[in-house]
Chains A and B, each alone.
Chain A
């Protein structure tokens, strides 16, 4: 690691106060740490900020190419003004007098806000808890660096990234000739999203000792923010229901600025106040814990291993168990939340103009479309679970916990196969609970219990596609661990195709590349059993190749 040159700004000052006050001692070294973090993130910082603005530029270009005439643009709003469109887009300010830029920030802005939130969460976690967990904070703090210096520097770094991304997005939007104030406002909204979730991450990083758990908890907050504003926007689209939910969501605050329409700045005050409050809470919490510890004290566990814990398979299950419980709970809750909107959705169609309902294929088909879309979305989320499971395998190996297992009588194919088997079985299980949750929500909302069965089938049908993603991740990991992140491209592409294939006019070849586009989004489409079998066979083949590859390479070991 680079040495911390100049990490001593707390040297006694001249003048009226010969000693720095203890108040500021806690922040000593912040400046040096910040410079050091910028240096560490010299690739990561531009990658995030430029990456997000390029995404914005891509959306803008695609939309301008697609909607050359106002009529084209009107055609696009049919979906956007539906409850499902509101869920996956936003409140849709000014869609009655639509322009490209209004549609751009109203429908796609959401993904920039989520991306910026992730950026904030990952940046704070990377520079606080991850460093602390690795033991490097201990070293840094033993020099002249105050208790609050690492967190402060991490928050300042996030602020720097937020300002950068805001400026870049403003430049991208106003560069296309959109109104300067609206562009600046949307850029500021994206930056605010990064700040708010950085504040949330500052708190979760105090609670748990583990960087991944801390990032995961913040991710749950981000997911909840997405869902709350989604439910609120759906309610607003229909003109009744709890539309006030958007005001509970930091993503909602950024969206409620209504760039290019109302140009309101005041919702961002809520973002800034929330950031300040969460940061202050994090500072207060951090004084109540020891370095490298979480807020909860460690508890003793069993002196002997449970009888069933006796092989690679049971070990893999034991290691994934806690995560599985968390994922199951989260998917059930999310499912019930989205499912419970089925009846309001149907009511919305009854009130909608006849021709709009006809365009969407009639109310009954619209219901099926919504339920099918839910299944596809949950399948993509379970795909994220599968990739994270393989990523944790990579961490097992890199941290040196795989070595002693393989030094016992466990073969490499057995070790990798056991983990893949557990994750592979977890995939249909998670789809089942997600489908059941959505089904229960939908059934409770409509009073039609048959929806439970339809949704469970619709969700479970995606299992082979997720298996293929899992197998691809396993193959990349087994062949060359550093190549593993490439698998995110498969999921990202699949998500893009799933939600925007028609709107962005993605060519058919590119659509068919996605593993999620072959089985069919039941109940709006039939289940293609043959496609499912082909995907399963392909996944099995690739997973087998992965175990063979893993047999051939050196284990990554600490030197």
Chain B
């Protein structure tokens, strides 16, 4: 079985900046592959190389078995792309843009277009210049999701969408996977990728630092817990999977591995818990913990 995307040792520099520094990426057919990384890690550059819009300095990239630079046109009939920042023609309506993108890919009239416009609550009669960022994003999403392609390249596709639309988007990606399509979903939000992805690759400074299924990456996925207990919480520190316990004035903070969560929750009950918040770690926390990254990427990462 040929990989949907097969990238080996990809290098790409812009002047003195090295955007991709020996990147390897393997996406299997039919999977939703999460492509995680902080802003500026090289996600968009990778996707643009995969589209043949940028030419790699060295390394090998194969998309659906073809070279993306040499076979761009034939390849693009079989894939659809949603950029993270969609720009539309100011005097074309959203509906015109959706139709145009489909026809540029030689699609026949996409059947699901109107259905998707309704689900995403998009008015296709408005001109490109009058759309907000979220609505421009919807136009590109509808154009991509309505097409019968084998591969979807989604580069932070939900930036600017509200939570309701995020849910619609997740449904659509699941439907795409059920229809047998391959999805490369780039994001800087761990939770979004956890929700959808079969496998995940984490990119940092132009290299893949982790790749595998979510279970394989379980060690990366810890829940941060903050609780108020009536009895002293020191016993928690002895439980397996609990890290970085810190207690003060009856309030306790710690992180717990995903698979140890049941026993910890049980123990918290015993301690007479009367206040509890738990949230998954952000990507930045993960990278900070595992690779000692500077928190430079935090600004945008924690915005949602």
Contact = CB atoms under 8 A, between A and B. Distances in A.
Interface of A: 209-210, 298-306, 309-312, 315, 318-319, 322, 399-401, 403-412, 414, 552-555, 557-559
Given A304-B96, A310-B103, 8 more contacts: A209-B129, A298-B127, A309-B103, A310-B100, A399-B87, A400-B86, A407-B76, A559-B44
Closest 4 CB pairs of A and B: A305-B99, A408-B104, A301-B93, A400-B87
A401 B53 CA distance: 13
B101 interface: yes
Contacts of B77: 409
Given A298-B129, A319-B89, A400-B83, A409 B100 contact: no
Interface string B234-255: 0000000000000000000000
A401 B51 CA distance: 15
A299 B129 CA distance: 11
B93 A300 contact: yes
A69 B274 CA distance: 105
B125 A302 contact: yes
Contacts of A303: 93, 95, 124-125
B229 to A, nearest CB: 45
B103 A407 contact: no
B104 A405 contact: yes
A406 B80 CA distance: 11
Interface of B: 44, 48, 51-55, 72-74, 76-77, 80-81, 83, 85-93, 95-101, 103-106, 123-127, 129-130, 140, 153
A409 B127 contact: no
Contacts of B86: 400, 404
A407 B93 contact: no
Nearest to A315: B100
B54 A305 contact: no
23 contacts: A298-B127, A299-B127, A301-B91, A301-B93, A301-B125, A301-B127, A303-B124, A305-B92, A305-B98, A309-B99, A310-B100, A310-B103, A318-B92, A322-B91, A400-B85, A401-B87, A401-B88, A401-B89, A403-B48, A408-B105, A411-B73, A554-B53, A554-B54
A483 B9 CA distance: 33
Contact of B73 (A210, A304, A403, A409): A409
A304 B146 CA distance: 14
Q: Which of A305, A408, A554, A558: most chain B Cβ within 10 A?
A: A408
B104 A311 contact: yes
B77 to A, nearest CB: 4
Contacts of B72: 406, 411-412
A408 B74 contact: no
A52 B106 CA distance: 52
B74 A298 contact: no
Most A CB atoms within 10 A — which of B76, B97, B100?
B100
A298 to B, nearest CB: 5
A555 B48 contact: yes
A417 to B, nearest CB: 13
Contacts of A552: 55
Q: Which of B76, B86, B104 has the most CB of A within 10 A?
A: B104
A559 B96 CA distance: 27
Given A301-B125, A304-B95, A406-B72, A558 B100 contact: no
Contacts of A408: 76, 101, 104-105
Contacts of B95: 301-305
Contacts of A305: 92, 95-100, 103
A404 B76 contact: no
A504 to B, nearest CB: 43
Nearest to B113: A304
B191 to A, nearest CB: 25
A399 B87 CA distance: 7
A306 B97 CA distance: 11
Nearest to B99: A305
Contact of A403 (B53, B74, B129): B53
Nearest to A294: B129
A309 B89 CA distance: 14
Nearest to B100: A305
A404 B140 contact: yes
A403 B83 contact: yes
B282 to A, nearest CB: 22
B73 A410 contact: yes
A407 B96 contact: no
Contact of A311 (B51, B89, B103, B153): B103
B53 A409 contact: no
Given A304-B96, A309-B96, A406 B105 contact: no
Nearest to B84: A558
A302 B95 CA distance: 7
Contacts of A306: 96
B85 A558 contact: yes
Contact of A555 (B54, B76, B85, B103): B54
Contacts of B129: 209, 298
Nearest to B98: A305
Given A319-B89, A410-B73, A300 B126 contact: yes
Contacts of B92: 301, 305, 318
Nearest to A292: B129
A223 B74 CA distance: 47
A314 to B, nearest CB: 9
A409 B54 contact: no
Contacts of A399: 87
B73 to A, nearest CB: 5
B103 to A, nearest CB: 4
